[in-house]
A and B are shown apart, each in its own frame.
Chain A
Amino acid sequence: KAGVTQTPRYLIKTRGQQVTLSCSPISGHRSVSWYQQTPGQGLQFLFEYFSETQRNKGNFPGRFSGRQFSNSRSEMNVSTLELGDSALYLCASSLNPPPSNYGYTFGSGTRLTVV
């Protein structure tokens, strides 16, 4: 079966711009989580969606937002980009939302560079 698809794979944006990242989960998976990964902070939780509802949100400013569609595809948006937003953004899908032992399947990520 197809894995988790994230688009685009690479992105370069200028400070102040906004960006939208897309994630298509594994077919049948209704839980989608987003993480930001940087060398200094590791994997930081952004938010989690299940059946189009945001169930949980990490400690990020309001510039970071997301949504999930009826087909479980998810998007995240970052407005007014800052240099510190440069990171690998990872999407993970799961059959069941946490707490679940089912485990996550991650996409390959979107590498965002803000200049």
Chain B
Amino acid sequence: TQLLEQSPQFLSIQEGENLTVYCNSSSVFSSLQWYRQEPGEGPVLLVTVVTGGEVKKLKRLTFQFGDARKDSSLHITAAQPGDTGLYLCAPLTGSARQLTFGSGTQLTVLP
């Protein structure tokens, strides 16, 4: 059974600060997706990482896939209130017939 852990569970920071959230598992993934969910809405796909050690940047967001493909991190530089939301990771294995989500990190960026 794949154990998936996201940390921290909650994070509250001031606008302009940097932060990193993590997604860790005991299993090896073939790829991993990050989603952000705002209150009252469905999750929105941010990125898919596929290769171990891969780093992808989307403006102020930097996503990294671990070398062993068991973990991933999301780093936000100079956080803004618009970054507030629930950040979910969803790893994929080659045999998976469903997308399984972590419990998420609830980020609040205060103005």
Interface of A toward B, CB cutoff 8 Å: 4, 33, 35, 42-43, 45, 48, 55-56, 58, 90, 92, 97-101, 103-109
Contact = CB atoms under 8 A, between A and B. Distances in A.
Contacts of B43: 43, 90, 104, 106
Contacts of A33: 98-99
Contacts of B62: none
Contacts, number: 62
B96 to A, nearest CB: 5
Contacts of B101: 35, 42-43
Given A55-B97, A56-B98, A99 B42 contact: no
A98 B99 contact: yes
Given A100-B92, A104-B43, 11 more contacts: A33-B98, A35-B101, A58-B98, A92-B99, A98-B92, A99-B95, A101-B50, A105-B45, A107-B42, A108-B40, A109-B41
Interface of B: 30-31, 33, 35, 40-45, 48, 50, 88, 92-104
Contacts of B99: 33, 45, 92, 98, 104
A35 B100 CA distance: 10
A48 B97 CA distance: 8
Nearest first, the 9 A-B pairs at minimum CB distance are: A106-B42, A43-B101, A103-B45, A56-B97, A42-B103, A45-B98, A99-B96, A101-B48, A90-B42
A45 B100 contact: yes
A20 B7 CA distance: 35
6 contacts: A42-B101, A43-B43, A45-B98, A55-B97, A98-B97, A109-B41
B72 to A, nearest CB: 14
A104 B45 contact: yes
Nearest to A45: B98
Contacts of B41: 106, 108-109
B93 to A, nearest CB: 7
A103 B35 CA distance: 10
Contacts of A105: 45
B9 to A, nearest CB: 11
